[in-house]
Amino acid sequence: MKAHQVALVGAGRMGGLHARNVVASSRFRLAAVADHNEGLAKQLGNELGASVRSYEQLLADPDIEAVLVASSTSSHLENVLLAVRAGKAVFCEKPLSLNADTLADALPDIEASVRPVFVAFNRRFDPHLGELKRQLDAGVIGRLETLHIVNHDPAMPHADFIPKSGGLFKDFTIHDFDTAGWLVGEEFTELYAAGACLIDPEIGSLGDIDTAKLVLKSAGGKICLISNSRRTGYGYDQRVELFGSAGALRVDNVHQTSVSRVGEAGTTGAPFPYSFAERYAEAYRNELDHFADVLDGRASPSSGPRDSLRVLRLADAAERSLNSGGPVTLIPGEY
Amino acid sequence: MKAHQVALVGAGRMGGLHARNVVASSRFRLAAVADHNEGLAKQLGNELGASVRSYEQLLADPDIEAVLVASSTSSHLENVLLAVRAGKAVFCEKPLSLNADTLADALPDIEASVRPVFVAFNRRFDPHLGELKRQLDAGVIGRLETLHIVNHDPAMPHADFIPKSGGLFKDFTIHDFDTAGWLVGEEFTELYAAGACLIDPEIGSLGDIDTAKLVLKSAGGKICLISNSRRTGYGYDQRVELFGSAGALRVDNVHQTSVSRVGEAGTTGAPFPYSFAERYAEAYRNELDHFADVLDGRASPSSGPRDSLRVLRLADAAERSLNSGGPVTLIPGEY
Amino acid sequence: MKAHQVALVGAGRMGGLHARNVVASSRFRLAAVADHNEGLAKQLGNELGASVRSYEQLLADPDIEAVLVASSTSSHLENVLLAVRAGKAVFCEKPLSLNADTLADALPDIEASVRPVFVAFNRRFDPHLGELKRQLDAGVIGRLETLHIVNHDPAMPHADFIPKSGGLFKDFTIHDFDTAGWLVGEEFTELYAAGACLIDPEIGSLGDIDTAKLVLKSAGGKICLISNSRRTGYGYDQRVELFGSAGALRVDNVHQTSVSRVGEAGTTGAPFPYSFAERYAEAYRNELDHFADVLDGRASPSSGPRDSLRVLRLADAAERSLNSGGPVTLIPGEY
Amino acid sequence: MKAHQVALVGAGRMGGLHARNVVASSRFRLAAVADHNEGLAKQLGNELGASVRSYEQLLADPDIEAVLVASSTSSHLENVLLAVRAGKAVFCEKPLSLNADTLADALPDIEASVRPVFVAFNRRFDPHLGELKRQLDAGVIGRLETLHIVNHDPAMPHADFIPKSGGLFKDFTIHDFDTAGWLVGEEFTELYAAGACLIDPEIGSLGDIDTAKLVLKSAGGKICLISNSRRTGYGYDQRVELFGSAGALRVDNVHQTSVSRVGEAGTTGAPFPYSFAERYAEAYRNELDHFADVLDGRASPSSGPRDSLRVLRLADAAERSLNSGGPVTLIPGEY
């Protein structure tokens, strides 16, 4: 099978991660790299043997089949729209936008695309969560009743990231909204968010929070707890637990190695992966593989612009709940 | 040291459990057993070599130093008041009452007692939770930020227990309110309760719920999640997890044995204890030992009537939150 | 049921442990304590409310039904023989003797006893090992093929204990010989012992070893590995692993509590129990309960003098193997 | 950096595994594939876009820098010698030979090679065992005293593999000899092997065993236990445990995922990897990466022909021990 020629826009951290996976896959060829920051583009292009061009040039190249959008979050939507208009297939790093109304306005244009538009949520491609979903769907725990998600980051982001992050809910909880919806398989009808600035007062002075606990209710009455923290101090804490009518299922943290040490203080297992890039390395490879399947016509995107809008509306609802202090009612189909 | 002569009122399941621990302890002597159901009292008294008398007779016996109140919940408060008036020390099974106002009215009389009144919350005496508290207090995880409590029962209670249980929050969550307050060391200022009847519709038709998730905020901004279920299907699921500025601490479930089996399906560890009596066996022995320390004058009760009122007010607030659908503000000192 | 009146000879560490269990059990009454060291006897007798008498006086008392022999190892056999001659039932702490030939000579006299003689091997009464045995016998792993035993002590004994210990094999490995035989259910036909003095040269200068690895073959071809160390530095390491035609079964170490801590270095579980008294506390209570069943006529001793001789012969074989450097052939029925 | 052009001889299972890793690595280019079985060579060559040639043609091609030898074990040595004579660098799958004397005779020729000859033992490149070694070398458990290796295969090999396998010790235990030597860092001075045919009598009728337990002593007095089985029934059981003067270190089995299920039977973790290809996938990639470092002149081979001879001599000694029934003395430097 011929490799798909793709180009990358956005040569930062996420762009580099995806581009390296592209290069390591026999199903793709990385044709070109674009970035407003030309130095960044050149460095990555040189490393990976890809040409450096402007985004306009890329889009005009008929040999390029698809575009990977990994530019700054604020430019995701514009870059996706440009790619769609140029007739390219799109792989877009989440989130598609930080503004739900803007995204809603753009949705018809994106959905009119003749080529697939894939918005990648890495959790769905994690082999551990994938196995959890398979067992849930196979009825291993009967009827799902409630679920708990722990999503705690190892360390605070740089303070200058906060203002452009969209806030904790849009930057971080958005993953959990997607995971929860994917597992529950129902729309959510109510959301309550408790949040606080417990780790670093600077976060608070920037109008954001660093800690949150959320309760969501689904149309079918299932209840979901989400726990978020910006800093564990001990690595990336990533757990999901499902409680059903016939038992429980969980994805526990993975460990860097299977080495443990026994000493006077007890038995110490290896630390968790420290970064998302390490914890979800396989998920990033898998989502790219899924995109190859999509381009090959063997699959449709597991999540697209509408899913992006859905989680964005949930993040907005979480903000409203936080501000009002009470739960927010969600109208299925309208978020 | 001379053994303390005690008498038991209430020869049911909890009474039997405490009475057997009394008999097995060299620090106590079980003098007598009372129960409205004389047959029950005789059976237990015969088994344990204790005389069977009416509660009035017990209270009139000057040789009996203390009374263990393990009668039906609705009679706890009255039996405690009678014991206090008779000048007896009291060990009362939780909860002291299902009605906060009634308890508040009775509080002055109880607190005027010259002899100690101990309301036993078993979690505080569990060696696992005790070690958690010790490490928390020792600063092992720095400043506590949030905590998660999982308290799930193995199996639904009999339907005829539900109406006299006081409801999920007073019967069950009350333990978690006590544990949370004990660990956080601060008053709670807000409580949000989501509840549902997901397991058995009969619970719902009786006006109760079988599943709940609660979010509590403390005066110092700490956030506490509580998860309750009336039925796991796999044993008693009892976990607490603390997240702090310098790491996390948890009490995981204990297992019936350390035996595990490796087969094609994976590695299977032994089940959790199925009943509270099994899971907290050591806690029940320890709380009795604490009561002996109290009677010896070497300790004051770790929890008393006022703590009982506090958790009862929290259970009331949880009901109000459930009914209103929104969070409830708590005024420290008034609950 | 009436409590059995028993007396203790030997008021040292093991005597105290058994005597306290006797006192805590409703099935026994501790009538008297004897010890050559009268101070020791008085201290324990006072603590437990038992009279202090000479061993001869005890044996002459017709109200005393059974004797617990927990004196120094070198006097076990003599004390058992005296008790047997006095018509007492006997509970004897292992090992019955350190000299196989002497024990063999005495065996007919002991076995002629009208009253039961129980030699207690604590492992058989451990609930974890008991569950392992139950699952093995239930065929959970099919046909047993090989087994591994790890038996490592937390810390070196005092050097002055070594000369009277009988050496590592008789003092320590003897437990594993019993466990292995109990699990395998076959006689052993060959034994190879590798030993060394790796921890403390003083042990070597006393003619003993502190580390050993043994390989035993059973009549049915099963192979058993035993690992012994006098010092882990991290608590009592006690594991058994069975490999069968349909999977594996293991008893892992137990932990002091179910508390774990997550920090930068990884996740640290609670330490193992440090002493045998802590690790096998329940086993000691259970073996006493078994003895009560024996006295009640509801059970026969799970292990007796002949089992003691068997493991002693295996310890002798291990010494011969260590000295010769090669494996030793064992003749079933002759050890 | 320019990619190294390599060719593969042997297009079977191991050849395919290495060739796919070569293709996925940016540090190599797979130029050609050779195999006596031309159909096999063509299939793999087509899949991976490599030309298919005879081994002689490969060796004559000056553009090919190195040869990967993954042909049948019996042809390893000859193919390596041919490659050495052709001036190629060599990556050879273990074992280099099944006959120690033949290998000893060939050693001078191989060691005279101007280009590096790397014999790959996958365990040394496993990230889990690598971390174990790092911690051991860093003194985490003080002075190493003893070690236990469990190396159990999931399922019996095909019976027709047995005669050409070289027997259990040369085919299987050889990995453990290498691992043990690598960890202990000392020559072995004595070896005792117990073996049996407990799984499948056909193995016995072919003159081989399916189960073995070995005890090795090192020059410095360390003792090593090795446990081998040809069939667990539950996946690839791969563990190493080190006991030292300051604690213990272990590599436990890895699990397919971090999913676990809680049900009435207990908590079931995910199975172990079933095949060596899965368990050591990362090790195979790492050993290739190491070979790239060797070709780049940045490393010398972590193990070479002399290490191969050493483990082969140990396998011979194990066979002698098994046949004689007693331990075998090893002369350091002569094995």
> pLDDT tens-digit profile of B99-123?
999 999 999 999 999 999 999 999 9
In Å, how far is A279's CA from the nearest CA of chain B? 19
Share of chain C above pLDDT 70, in %: 100
Q: Rounded to whole angstroms, how far apart are CA atoms B186 and D269?
A: 38
Q: What would the pLDDT profile of A241-255 be if each residue is shown by its tens digit?
A: 999 999 999 999 999
**Average per-residue pLDDT in chain A?**
96
DSSP E strands in D70-184: the ranges are: 89-93, 117-120, 144-152
Whether the pLDDT of residue B266 is over 70: the answer is yes
Query: Is A213 in Cβ contact with B215 (below 8 Å)?
Result: yes
Contact criterion met (CB below 8 Å) for B216 and B194? no
Which residues, other chains included, contact B101 with Cβ-Cβ below 8 Å and sequence gap of 6+?
Answer: none
Mean pLDDT in residue range A118-139: 97
Band of residue C1 on the pLDDT scale cut at 50, 70, 90: low
Q: Could you tell me the end-to-end alpha-carbon distance of chain C, in angstroms, rounded to an integer? A: 40
Mean pLDDT in residue range B202-217: 96
| DSSP state for residue B272 in the 8-state scheme | P
pLDDT at D1: 60
Which residues does D contribute to its contact with B (CB < 8 Å)? Answer: 232-235, 237, 255, 260, 262-271
Q: What would the pLDDT profile of D25-42 be if each residue is shown by its tens digit?
A: 889 999 999 999 999 999
Which residues does D contribute to its contact with A (CB < 8 Å)? Answer: 23-24, 26, 127-128, 131-132, 135, 140-141, 246-254, 256-264, 270
In Å, how far is B327's CA from the nearest CA of chain A? 6
Q: What is the pTM (predicted TM-score) of this model?
A: 0.96
Mean pLDDT in residue range C210-215: 98
For chain C, the chains sharing at least 3 beta-carbon pairs closer than 8 angstroms are A, B, D
Q: What would the pLDDT profile of B239-260 be if each residue is shown by its tens digit?
A: 999 999 999 999 999 999 999 9
For chain A, the chains sharing at least 3 beta-carbon pairs closer than 8 angstroms are B, C, D
Q: Rounded to whole angstroms, how far apart are CA atoms D204 and D211?
A: 11
Which residues, other chains included, contact C227 with Cβ-Cβ below 8 Å and sequence gap of 6+?
Answer: C148, C149, C150, C151, C152, C212, C213, D146, D148, D225
Tell how far CA C33 is from the center of its chain. 22
Which residues does D contribute to its contact with C (CB < 8 Å)? Answer: 145-146, 148, 152, 192, 194, 196, 198-199, 211, 213, 215, 217, 221-223, 225, 227, 229, 232-234, 237, 243, 245-248, 325-327
| Nearest CA-CA partner of D286 in D153, D40, D121 | D121
Q: Rounded to whole angstroms, how far apart are CA atoms A232 and A150?
A: 11
Closest CB to D229: pick one of C192, C243, C327.
Answer: C243
Q: What is the per-residue DSSP string for A242-283?
A: EEETTEEEEEPPP-S-SEEEEETTEEEEPPPPSSHHHHTHHH
ipTM of the complex: 0.95
Q: For residue A287, how many other CB atoms are within 10 A of its CB?
A: 24
Work out whether strand D223-229 and strand C223-229 pair parallel, antiparallel, or are unpaired: unpaired
Query: Is B217 in Cβ contact with A237 (below 8 Å)?
Result: no
Whether the pLDDT of residue C265 is over 70: the answer is yes
Share of chain D above pLDDT 70, in %: 100
Q: What would the pLDDT profile of B13-57 be if each residue is shown by its tens digit?
A: 999 999 999 998 889 999 999 999 999 999 999 999 999 999 999
In Å, how far is C153's CA from the nearest CA of chain B? 19
Whether the pLDDT of residue A335 is over 80: the answer is no
Mean pLDDT in residue range B128-156: 98
Judged by DSSP in three states, A149 sits in strand
Tell how far CA B288 is from the center of its chain. 13
pLDDT at C26: 84
Whether the pLDDT of residue A2 is over 90: the answer is no
pLDDT at A332: 76
Whether the pLDDT of residue C2 is over 90: the answer is no
Query: Is A268 in Cβ contact with C233 (below 8 Å)?
Result: no
Whether the pLDDT of residue A179 is over 80: the answer is yes
Which residues does C contribute to its contact with B (CB < 8 Å)? Answer: 23-24, 26, 127-128, 131-132, 135, 140-141, 246-254, 256-264, 270
Measured between beta carbons, which residues in chain A are less than 8 angstroms from residue C229? none
pLDDT at A24: 87
Q: Rounded to whole angstroms, how far apart are CA atoms A238 and C295?
A: 56
The helix (run of H) or strand (run of E) holding residue A322 is helix A305-324
Query: Is C327 in Cβ contact with D146 (below 8 Å)?
Result: no
Query: Is D247 in Cβ contact with C232 (below 8 Å)?
Result: yes
| B163-167, B253-257, B310-314, C184-188: least confident range | B163-167
Measured between beta carbons, which residues in chain D are less than 8 angstroms from residue B255? 266-267
Band of residue A159 on the pLDDT scale cut at 50, 70, 90: confident
Residue A194: both structure tokens together = 């408790």
pLDDT at B334: 72
Mean pLDDT in residue range C175-181: 97
Whether the pLDDT of residue B1 is over 70: the answer is no
In Å, how far is B39's CA from the nearest CA of chain D? 36
Mean pLDDT in residue range A53-65: 97
pLDDT at B333: 73
Q: What would the pLDDT profile of C110-167 be if each residue is shown by its tens digit?
A: 999 999 999 999 999 999 999 999 999 999 999 999 999 999 999 999 888 998 899 9
Whether the pLDDT of residue C212 is over 80: the answer is yes
Q: Rounded to whole angstroms, how far apart are CA atoms D155 and D153?
A: 6
Whether the pLDDT of residue A1 is over 70: the answer is no
Mean pLDDT in residue range B159-165: 89
Report CA dihedral (C158, C163, C169, C175) to the nearest 10 degrees.
-60
C-alpha dist (Å) from residue C250 to B48, C121, C247, D294: 39, 20, 10, 43
Q: What would the pLDDT profile of A186-209 be if each residue is shown by its tens digit?
A: 999 999 999 999 999 999 999 999
